[in-house]
Structure 1
Amino acid sequence: MGRHYFHLHLISDSTGETLIAASRAVAAQYQDVSSIEHVYPLVRSRAQLDRAIAEIEAAPGIVLFTLVDQELSHRLEEACRESGSPCLSVLQPILSLFGSYLGATSTPRPGAQHMLNADYFKRIDALNYTMMHDDGQTAEGYEEADVLLLGVSRTSKTPTSIYLANRGVRTANIPLVPGVPLPPGLEKLKNPLVVGLLASPERIVQIRQNRLLSLNAADKETPYVDRMSVSEEIASSRRLFAQHGWPTIDVTRRSIEETAAAIIDLHKAHRMKFITQA
């Protein structure tokens, strides 16, 4: 049985990121179906909407939208009915729920979630910090981190750090390299939560081999991809984490998002403990 495809039209008066994330989360539940995405960001005028409608009429499919302008929303819904394309205002059910609970009327503001508020600048600050402290390249200022990740090569330290930074969590990461000592004083850090990342030797070897292939490395028989050597690296890191009482997360079968969510939960507990002891 072959894979089925359908057209998915995402219309937003902002960046479209909310629609993309929501639709992909749902589409992932259908193994034999793939969407052909048509994304229309920053749709805030009738002319912009009409261009999107023309494409929907040319390639009917599912239409998801986030438009706070009621006139544009009604125009889109009418056009979808005429073309036989099911459509849904993704935020409307959530707005209705908020309204019924809070007893207040929302103020329509396109792209309000992307305003330059304190949270936005917190994320930018976290990202700057994280990029400076990626892969142990800046061996100072770790006390200013919220989270410090440790792990052998290819345990997803960098992508996890960047994801956390985008959530406003200042994250540093340090690779565990055989024969290379850790920066001094890590065990004395008070503010950051130190987390050890682990993975199965098989997974690490697979990722490292792919890495060497992508780099066209000449020597494919180095200890870097030797199964026994990798197993010892991971065992050594596990002993290090246990010695210092640092929590660990096995990333073998976890996505970056799942790893980050687990770290955020650990960090919340760490902050509560830090506050009660202060």
Structure 2
Amino acid sequence: MSRSYFHLHLVSDSTGETLINVGRAAAVQYEGISAIEHVYPLVRSGAQLERVISEIKAAPGLVLYTLVGHELIERLEEACRETGSPTLNVLQPVHALLRSYLGATSTERPGAQHMLNAEYFKRIDAMNFTLAHDDGALPDDLDEADVLLIGVSRTSKTPTSIYLANRGLKTANLPLVPSMPLPPSFERARKVLIVGLIASPERIVQIRQNRLLSLKADENSAYVDRESVADEIAASRRLCAKYRWPTIDVTRRSIEETAAAILDLYREHRLKFIAT
């Protein structure tokens, strides 16, 4: 099947993360078609916009933008009409709905969501904690964590932890190793939400084999033996059932989907903890 391509211009007065996520989430729905992304972050002056326009003229395509300055918006849309490039102000429908519902007007501050407020520093603090508590490191202060992820090797504990940290949750993770007991700090932990990550043996074996291949290591160990891996996963299920820790099967979940499920569990956990 041949693949076709189109130019996707993403123009932002901030980091461009919103546009990248929206553009990719939409483009991936079209089989056989790929976007050639052109990302222009921090576009806040006329001179910067003119450089963007010159690139759009050189490679016309679809233009998504998140600009708040009226003059910049008018100039961009005028240039796009000249090149026949469809444009969409991605946040405009959301702002219109908020204005209608709230009966208020927006402040039009470029990059306002990235201002150095308390939420920003909370995320930084969570990221520092998470990196210091990766792969079972420093387990003695687990009750300072918001979330603790456990699971056998290759269940995406580290990337999920980092994603949660970016959402402001202090997240530790601990690998479950056969015949190795849990640290004593687990018995003392009360506030932290403990979640078990599991996956099918076939998926774990596949990931581990790729890992060993990249390391040029022995591929005949119990680490990649299907029966041994199945025993590991069964043991992790029993452990979680013993302590009534929720589990999430990550076999067919993306990191984002796994994190979303954990965030829901965390909200429920916090409500119960506050109530007691």
Determine if the TM-score, normalized by the shorter chain, exceeds 0.5.
yes
Deviation of 1:150 (Å): 0.5
Q: TM-score, normalised by structure 2?
A: 0.99
* 1:167 Cα deviation from its structure 2 partner: 0.2
1:139 Cα deviation from its structure 2 partner: 1.8
Number of aligned residue pairs: give it.
276
Residue 64 of structure 1, CA deviation: 0.4
The answer on whether the counterparts of 2:10 and 2:20 sit within 8 Å (CA) in structure 1 is: yes
Q: In structure 2, how many angstroms separate the alpha carbons of the residues matched to 1:171 and 1:184?
A: 18
Deviations, residues 67-104 of structure 1 (Å, cap 9, x unaligned): 11100000000000010000011111111111111111
How far did residue 179 of structure 1 move? 2.3
- Distance in 2, matches of 1:250 and 1:141, equals 27
What amino acid sits opposite 1:133 in the alignment?
A: H
User: In structure 2, what is the Cα distance between the partners aligned to 1:228 and 1:245?
Assistant: 25
Q: Give RMSD over aligned pairs.
A: 0.8
Q: Distance in 2 between matches of 1:204 and 1:259?
A: 16
Structure 1's unaligned 5+ residue stretches are none
1:137-176 to structure 2, matched below 5 A, reads 137-176=137-176
8 A Cα contact 2:201 2:226, kept in partner? yes
Report the alpha carbon displacement of residue 235 of structure 1 after superposing the two structures with TM: 0.6
Residue 276 of structure 1, CA deviation: 0.7
Q: Which residue of 1 is the match for residue 219 of structure 2?
A: 220
The corresponding residue for 1:265 is 264
What TM-score, normalized to structure 1? 0.98
Partner of 1:117: 117
Q: Which residue of 1 aligns with 2:42?
A: 42
Matched residue type, 1:145? A
Q: Which amino acid aligns with 2:268?
A: A
Which residue in the other structure is 2:71 paired with? Answer: 71
Note the residue ranges of structure 2 that are not aligned, 5 or more in a row: none
> What do residues 152-208 of structure 1 show as CA deviations (whole Å, max 9, x unaligned)?
000000000000000001100000011222111314411101101100000000000
The answer to whether the Cα contact below 8 Å between 1:122 and 1:168 also exists between their aligned partners in 2 is yes
Q: What pairs up with 1:80-119 in 2 under 5 angstroms? A: 80-119=80-119
* Runs of 4+ deviating beyond 3 Å: none
SS of 1:65 mapped into structure 2? strand
Cα distance in structure 1, aligned partners of 2:227 and 2:84: 60
Whether contact under 8 Å (1:187, 1:244) holds in the other structure is no
Aligned residue for 1:140, secondary structure, equals helix
Cα deviation digits, residues 217-245 of structure 1 (max 9, x gap): 1x110100001110100011111111111
The amino acid that maps onto 2:229 is V
AA at the equivalent of 2:38: H
Post-superposition CA distance 1:235-263 (Å, at most 9, x none): 11111111111110000000000000000
Report SS of the residue matched to 2:140: coil
Q: 2:178, 2:171 → 1: CA distance? A: 23
How many angstroms apart in 2 are the aligned matches of 1:111 and 1:216? 45
Give the share of equivalent positions with the same residue, in percent: 71
Note the C-alpha offset of 1:32: 1.1
Cα pair 2:142 2:185 within 8 Å, conserved:
no
1:242 partner letter = A
| Equivalent position of 1:241 in the other structure | 240
- Counterpart CA distance in 1 for 2:87 and 2:7 is 12
Does 2:192 match 1:207?
no
Partner Cα separation in structure 1 for residue 216 and residue 23 of structure 2: 37
Name the SS for the 1:35 alignment partner. Answer: strand
- State whether residues 7 and 37 of structure 1, in contact with CA within 8 Å, keep that contact through their aligned partners in structure 2: yes
